[in-house]
Amino acid sequence: MKILITEKINQKGLEMIEQSGFTVINAYGNEEIINKNISEVEGIVVRTFPLNSNLLKKAKKLKIISKHGVGIDNIDTEYCSNNGIVITKTPGANSLSVAEHAFSMMISLSKNLKHISKEYVANGFEAKNNIIGFEMSNKTLGIIGLGSIGQNLLKLTKGFNMKVLAFDPYLKNKVDGVKIVEEIEELIVSSDFISIHCALTDSTRNLINYEKLKKMKKNAILVNCARGGIINENDLIKAINENLIYGAGLDVTEKEPLEKDDELFNHDNIIITPHSAVSTKEASENVAIIAATNIINYFKEE
């Protein structure tokens, strides 16, 4: 049987699939290779490559899509459901890496690291007196989505003595060390830092818009390591230009990749990374191994 790997994954996952007797077709994100081979494969391992219905209609032999990660907004789930194609995910495998990335963005923005580094080059040592940051300790963090990533982020706050609020209408169990709010507005108006860790759905698209940005504290820092589209980027740029919030860290954007001249790149108080929060040695191994295991177990009927 043939397994299509749409994008690069850790070698350990590839080896597991090959050693289990499958033929691997590694596309490395090449759309031409994917289109050429999709009609012949029984399984797909996918990261962010869009698997829409037009493409999936060509996959006559396809039985399983193994998502390398947890966000399945790039997969036409309705088509898969109607055509008996199984979708699996890798929950928890990269949660700590994403949480650390979000936390590092908060620290970098609160200390103005991007801005002061540029100023040092441009204006010399005097930059240290011209740009002042602020401490994270004893501030309030608001977490939107308290799943595995959100709870790992919660643990990282302990050494900073932060008060933590969380909004998550799907949360089933009590979580120590956090106040769960019933309305997102309470989190929006009360938090010094806001970090987004929910799925992109019809109800969360443009969840953070201009009206909510206006309600945030003037010193608020907004971080999104979930999915582009949860924040309305035009509204965010407007809020930044009007100094409504202090800064933003985005590991995801509505359009990926961004064009080099995108306005989001033109602000010293916005940090953009290329959907790379999961790009750690540990996470890449964990996710690839679980994604491979899901493929192997499916065909072993486990």
The set of catalytic residues is 227, 256, 275
DSSP secondary structure string for all residues of 24-90: EEE-TT-HHHHHHHGGG-SEEEESSS-B-HHHHTT-TT--EEEESSS--TTB-HHHHHHTT-EEE--
CB atoms near residue 161 (< 10 Å): 10
Six-digit token string for 114:
């991007």
Distance between CA 218 and CA 210 in Å, rounded?
14
> Would you report the helix, strand and coil content of the chain in percent, each value rounded to 5?
40, 15, 45
**Cα–Cα distance for residue pair 158/255, rounded to 1 Å:** 34
Given the structure tokens 């990269």, which residue do they identify? 94
Please give the order of strands across the beta sheet that includes 64-67: 23-26, 2-5, 43-46, 64-67, 86-88
